[in-house]
Structure 1
């Protein structure tokens, strides 16, 4: 994360400011500009996303980084989908046992 890096020169270069400005904001000598605060917040939030990184919302869809999507209303049916899948597997197992 930018805020906790020890390489002030690289951080300043990355965000397009002087090392002096970066250090002044970092050590509280000057107020942090809103754009920088938003950037730091964005970076922190991105790190916290973990396995959800790359997903996005588009209208009624949640879209994965691979391009497939899920309708918002389907989200509430996921439990039913899981139970149906489990029941189908149990039925298949039962049929195999009965046929043996």
Structure 2
């Protein structure tokens, strides 16, 4: 795996190095970049090898072309892109996250199941609390019941005729 990317831009403050690597090494083949930017393939190779700086105009052009598939808005969905039948959020939330188109129809059921799980957990907690209370109460009653029976012996039952 390649770890050294000598590429650099004419405006390094405006374009991050990671963005240049993504655009020039992982987006399109050099001949397509050359056709798009109306330059020779050797020029693109010189940019990739770090012999010449990449013009900012070319970087912005590639960003515009490659962002057709991304959502541009002022929300958490900004930067999300369609990938097949999935909507994918990459690195905007710190990790890769995606949802299938078919899952959108099941969102109501997911929410219902989440609430059902929460309600069942609350029920289990309540039942455990009640069980512990009754266990302690039974233990106390049996202990004090034996004490009372030793002080006041039970009377024999009389037959009622």
Partner of 1:99: 128
Matched positions, count = 61
Q: Aligned residue for 2:111?
A: 82
| 3-state SS in 2 of match to 1:82 | helix
Following superposition, the deviation at residue 81 of structure 1 comes to: 0.4
Aligned position for 2:101:
72
CA shift in 2, pair 1:88/1:98, >3 Å: same
TM-score, scaled relative to structure 2: 0.33
Q: Give the greater-gyration-radius structure (CA).
A: 2
**TM-score of the superposed pair, with normalisation by structure 1:** 0.51
SS at match of 1:51: coil
Any idea what the Cα deviations from partners look like across 1:25-67, whole Å, max 9, x if unmatched? xxxxxxxxxxxxx9xxx8xx72x34211121111111111232
Q: Does 1:60 align with 2:85?
A: yes
Residue ranges of structure 1 left out of the alignment (5+ in a row): 1-14, 17-37
Q: Secondary structure at the match of 1:69?
A: strand
Runs of 4+ residues over 2 Å off in structure 1: none
The CA distance in 1 between the partners of 2:75 and 2:124, in whole Å, is 40
Structure 2 gaps, min length 5: 1-55, 58-63, 130-161
What's the offset of the Cα at 1:87? 0.3
CA RMSD of aligned residues (A): 2.6
Give the CA deviation at 1:69: 1.5
